[in-house]
Chains A and B, each alone.
Chain A
């Protein structure tokens, strides 16, 4: 079993739709949860991170962590064509640890 599971998609939505991206993880020891956005042929950029359970909002993006069910979510409101990218979830045991990535979900937002 992979430590972090993510549906690779692809996911295609119309502009303005609400997008829900999800991951599950297996190890309850994970403390930090991140979402990265990666455009084609580029390195990943950090979108949001959350420590432990809860919600975090930044503009059109909301990250949600439910440690009881080991479930991580990213919601994108009013999606735009510029949001078209691959979204990777990632976790960390602790600050000094190594990132463990999900497979990434390819998102396409159609105008």
Chain B
């Protein structure tokens, strides 16, 4: 299957700083990338959808000025958490989807990034 990587895998930062998380599709071109957050023992909640070269579409309740998403190439999307606060501590997961010839256009998930804000 296709491989999606995330970097860093975990990060600890001080309150008020900004953190950038990278999501890369390693062996396919991702026309669409998705960013999720997951709190302990809860499901994945979609934050935003981004298509290469265009602005991200944010889900209701997600602050676009706080969670900046860039999808500048077909293999890289970044999520920047600006002015992070302890309540932003969570597990952030990206997924990527390319063009598929099969009947189901699968999303491939990255391994996740654990963010802890002190």
Interface residues of A (CB under 8 A from B): 6, 8, 32, 36, 41-46, 49, 51, 88, 95-96, 98-99, 101-104, 106
Contacts and interface: CB of A to CB of B under 8 A. Distances in A.
Nearest to A2: B43
Given A45-B109, A98-B46, 20 more contacts: A8-B41, A32-B104, A41-B112, A42-B112, A43-B4, A43-B6, A43-B93, A43-B95, A43-B109, A43-B110, A44-B93, A49-B106, A51-B104, A88-B44, A95-B104, A98-B49, A99-B46, A101-B43, A103-B42, A103-B43
Nearest to B109: A43
Given A42-B111, A49-B104, A98 B34 contact: yes
Contacts of B90: none
Interface residues of B, number: 23
Nearest to A99: B107
B60 interface: no
9 contacts: A8-B41, A41-B91, A42-B112, A43-B109, A51-B104, A88-B44, A98-B34, A102-B43, A106-B41
Nearest to B4: A43
Contacts of B111: 42-43
Closest 10 CB pairs of A and B: A43-B109, A101-B43, A95-B105, A103-B43, A43-B111, A43-B112, A101-B44, A44-B109, A43-B93, A43-B110
B64 interface: no
A77 to B, nearest CB: 23
Residue of B44, B103, B104 ringed by the most chain A CB atoms within 10 A: B44
B28 to A, nearest CB: 15
A46 B106 contact: yes
Contacts of B34: 98-99
B7 interface: no
A109 B37 CA distance: 27
Contacts of A46: 1, 106
B114 interface: yes
Interface string B26-69: 00000000100000011110100100000000000000000000
